[in-house]
Amino acid sequence: MTNVNHSAVRAAQPASGEVSSARRMLGRIFTMRNIAVVSLVVYFAVFMAYPIFSAFAGSLHDWNPLIDKYDWVGFDNFVNVLTDGLFWKSLWNTAIYSFFSILFRVVLGLALALLLSSKLVKCKDTLRGLFYMPTITPLVAVSFVWMWMFDPQFGMIDKITGLDISWLNDSRYAMPAVIIMTIWKDFGYATVLYLAGIMALPRDVYEAAQIDGANWWQTFRSITLPLLKPTTLLIVITSLISYLQAYVQILVMTKGGPGTDTYTISYLIYDQAFQKYNFGTASAMSVILFVLTGILTILMFKASGDNTEA
């Protein structure tokens, strides 16, 4: 900082030799690297570090902005959250939602990528584009389309299947309906990631396997699948992180209903924060979600690491 001022003062002086040396000094201080790093650190402190700190602090307060309340309560919010039945129900719903969405996303994504990368299939670019359509369309719009498709009166799903199910109003079918919509929306992303992974597979290993007389299934089990593990891990982890945070499809399609049957953890936080204005409770929940996300991510990296060694 003193350097900057010093050279700025000097630069103001008329002596020409001094000016050029001052300029060089300024040039050395205001490099692309320094500007980028300093701005990043400042930006990070203001828009990331400080909010994270505030969230932790807020979770220890009875905090309601509508009545201007911010009172220290220690760990009361956490105790309340962890003894709240709805919190655990939402957590369970989130687990179910994430598990099935990820499972189908991975299996469908891999199967389609294998097919699309085989020589047997024609019109690959068109097919890839079609499968990718749902992924590149906005979630709010797509949630509406599916809400209408599930409509028992005019929705096309009941009309096609001949069923008479009130999908989003029936506690047995509401969560499966949201999961179906999520799988439909997201499998294309996994397909594209797997396609990229398959493109990068080494050809010679496959030639060797062919010479050894390995059949398709053996090749798939012992070569393709293990080599694609980094891709699978990437998909599972990014999916998990995003499904733990999913709320838009719930907000649009079911509003957590019927009753509280499709409450997920992030929808519950949304509900607490921006419908009930219990900022303290919502902050405590978000801290728990943050810790949970971190633990699950690390566990998954660990688990996958152990497998490779075995």
Partner 1 sequence: MSKSTKKVISIVVTILLFALSLVTIVPFIWMFVSSFAPNSEIVKITGGIFPAPTTLDNYANIQKTFNFFRLFANSVFIATVKTVLVIYISAVLGYVFSKMHFRGRNVLFGAVLSTMMLPWAVTIIPQYEMMVQFGWLDTYRSLIVPGLVSGFGVFLFRQSIGSISDEIIEAAKLDGAGDARIFHQIILPMSRNSIAALAIFTFLWNWEDYLWPFLMITDSDKMLLSVGLKMFNGQYGTDYGGLFAATSLAIIPVIIVYMVFQKQFIAGIATGSGK
Q: Which of 160, 212, 216, 309 binds partner 1 (CB under 8 A)?
A: 160
Q: Tell me which residues in 210-239 interact with partner 1 (CB under 8 A).
A: 230-231, 234
Rounded CA Rg of the chain: 27
The footprint of partner 1 on this chain (CB under 8 A) covers a number of residues equal to 87
Q: Does 290 bind partner 1 (CB under 8 A)?
A: yes
Q: Does 78 bind partner 1 (CB under 8 A)?
A: no
Q: Does 263 bind partner 1 (CB under 8 A)?
A: no
Q: Which of 8, 15, 52, 82 binds partner 1 (CB under 8 A)?
A: 52
Task: Catalogue the E-assigned strands of the chain.
Answer: 61-64, 69-72
Q: Does 67 bind partner 1 (CB under 8 A)?
A: no
Question: Residue 16 is encoded by which pair of tokens?
Answer: 């020409």
Q: Tell me which residues in 91-150 interact with partner 1 (CB under 8 A).
A: 112, 115-116, 118-123, 127-134, 136-142, 144-146, 148-149
3-state secondary structure of 118: coil
Angle at 239 between CA 99 and CA 284, to 5 degrees: 85
Q: Nearest to residue 174, comparing CAs of 83, 267, 244? A: 267
Q: What are φ and ψ of residue 83, in 5° steps?
A: -105, 5
Site string for partner 1, 161-200 (x = CB under 8 A): -----------------------x---x---xx-xxx-xx
Task: Name the minimum Å distance from CB 233 to partner 1.
Answer: 10
Closest to partner 1 by CB, 14 or 154? 154
Closest to partner 1 by CB, 14 or 217? 217
Give yes or no for a contact between 256 and 267, defined as CB atoms under 8 angstroms apart.
yes
SS (H, E, C) 248-286: HHHHHHCCCCCCCCCCCHHHHHHHHHHCCCCHHHHHHHH
